[in-house]
Chain A
Amino acid sequence: MSTISYRQIFADGVWNQNTGLVVLLGLCPLLAVTNTVVNGLGLGMATILTLSFSNLFVSLARGIFRPEIRIPAYVLIIASVVTVIQLLLQAWMHDLYRVLGIFIPLIVTNCAIIGRAEAFAARNRALPSLVDGFATGLGFCLALVLLGALREIIGRGTLLSQASLMFGDFGDSLQLTLIPNHPGFLLALLPPGAFIGLGLLIAGRNWLDARRPLTRAQRADSSPSKAAAPADGQGEFN
């Protein structure tokens, strides 16, 4: 695991082991906030930051904790990181914070974060851990943004509405109305739409994966064992 390349870390985090679409962790925020792109992006960026820093700190602290208390220690680290991010958001992106509300503090409970701490950061050096956190967060963020885009286009006919929450006045110019006079398709905006949309995204990802010619990595170890047993121990945190 220690010889893993950065390229592989990114491939795993964004595609092969995508938190939202493959490992299916952190579904609660994934389903709850993705009624618009901007909400998804906001939570996604907060998750990227949390994962990067929690991985970094866990990696730096590895060896300090006895195995029996490592989980509470990770939770303390993650909770501190999330609270710092929450305070910063509250101070500098207050309107976005108000939209995301409870889902910012709830990042603590996103199993993907403790999962990466346990499966990766606790066994690797600081820099690879930071990169792994970033890549995993990026994968999650992409899933959030894609699902947000899908639901926003179908549900409202717009894209990037309320972008001013994130980008200030500049954001207003980003908003696109793809379908003028869209009557609104409620199903896409309500929770069932989130489940259906997520199902479609997972199906789409699997379809692309199946069509894809074998990658170098897969050719290198073509044994099926890798596919059968994904990353070490990630499933434990469901």
Chain B
Amino acid sequence: MKKAENSILRSAASLAAVAIIGTTLLTGVDKLTAERIAEQERRVVLEQLAQIVSPDRYDNELQDDLLKISDELHFPRGQTVTVYRARKNGEPEALIMKLAAVRGYNGMIHLLVGINADGSLSGVRVASHKETPGLGDVIEVEKSDWILGFSGRSLQSPATTEWAVKRDGGEFDQFTGATITPRAVVEAVRLSLEYFQANQALLFQAPAQNTTSEQL
């Protein structure tokens, strides 16, 4: 009996020892890398944002001037939209919304929508998606120029009723074999513009909710 107890104790002790050594090692490595990882994540976010609003247009720290909004009407399915606000000499220049198009073919299509202070689109990019490769993935800027077609558009150009793919009587091209994907993207961009139009003052004036820098 004594012997069995001893062997159990020995097992437990050796497992605990491995766990302690492992944890110590990981804590050490985490300490060593944490700063660099945070830096890298900031860099990735900035690089993505720079595709939409070029860095020379603003002089504030985009990642410290952000806002979290939720609005079921414009950003459905309870998503929290991150808004990065670009300012030059304190004046509103543009903002970038990180939102998701919810009516894609396969799950959420995560988008970055850049809107200039005058209400026109600075640019749109797809941050991540799970649409069908070869059909729906034409929304990626690496695959085609389609997504660039949003730049310069606004709710006046085309008119709100034309904010749809051609199949639905709108302005925007769809792709052969994929209508659902561009339809979802066009809809999400239009909704974000409408939200911007309705809340522009608030979007730029609300105090920054600087939580933590976050990964896209």
Contacts and interface: CB of A to CB of B under 8 A. Distances in A.
A69 B11 contact: yes
A189 B43 CA distance: 30
Interface stretch (A4-12, A18-26, A72-80): A72-80
Given A64-B14, A76-B18, A83 B26 contact: yes
Contact of A84 (B7, B29, B37): B29
Interface in B1-60: 7, 10-11, 14-15, 18-19, 21-22, 25-26, 29-30, 33, 36-37, 40-41, 43-44
Contact of A79 (B21, B22, B33, B41): B22
B29 A88 contact: yes
A100 to B, nearest CB: 14
A169 interface: no
Given A66-B11, A69-B14, A84-B25, A186 B133 contact: yes
Contacts of A87: 26, 29-30, 33, 37
Contacts of B22: 76-77, 79-80
Nearest to B40: A94
Nearest to B21: A80
Contacts of B10: 66
Contact of A189 (B7, B26, B133): B133
Nearest to A35: B133
B134 interface: yes
Interface in A65-113: 65-66, 68-69, 72-73, 76-77, 79-80, 83-84, 87-88, 90-92, 94-95, 98
Contacts of B7: 66
Contact of B133 (A72, A76, A190): A190
A210 B134 CA distance: 38
A76 B15 contact: yes
Contacts of A80: 21-22, 25-26
B18 A77 contact: yes
Contact of B40 (A77, A90, A189): A90
B71 to A, nearest CB: 29
Given A69-B14, A80-B22, A92 B134 contact: no
Nearest to A75: B18
A119 interface: no
Counting chain A residues whose Cβ lies within 8 A of the other chain, the interface size class is 20 to 34
A236 to B, nearest CB: 21
Interface centre among B7, B14, B25, B44 (most CB of A within 10 A): B14
A231 interface: no
Contacts of A77: 18, 22
Nearest to B41: A94
Interface centre among A66, A91, A95 (most CB of B within 10 A): A91
A98 B10 CA distance: 41
Contacts of B14: 64-66, 69, 73
Instruction: Report the 8 A-B pairs with minimum CB-CB distance, sorted nearest first.
Output: A80-B22, A94-B40, A91-B33, A186-B134, A91-B36, A69-B11, A87-B33, A76-B18
Interface of B: 7, 10-11, 14-15, 18-19, 21-22, 25-26, 29-30, 33, 36-37, 40-41, 43-44, 133-134
23 contacts: A69-B11, A69-B15, A72-B15, A73-B14, A76-B15, A76-B18, A79-B22, A80-B25, A83-B26, A84-B25, A84-B26, A87-B29, A87-B33, A88-B29, A88-B33, A90-B37, A91-B36, A91-B40, A94-B37, A94-B44, A95-B44, A186-B133, A189-B133
Interface of A: 61, 64-66, 68-69, 72-73, 76-77, 79-80, 83-84, 87-88, 90-92, 94-95, 98, 184, 186, 189-190
Given A66-B7, A80-B21, A88-B29, 4 more contacts: A76-B19, A90-B33, A94-B37, A190-B133
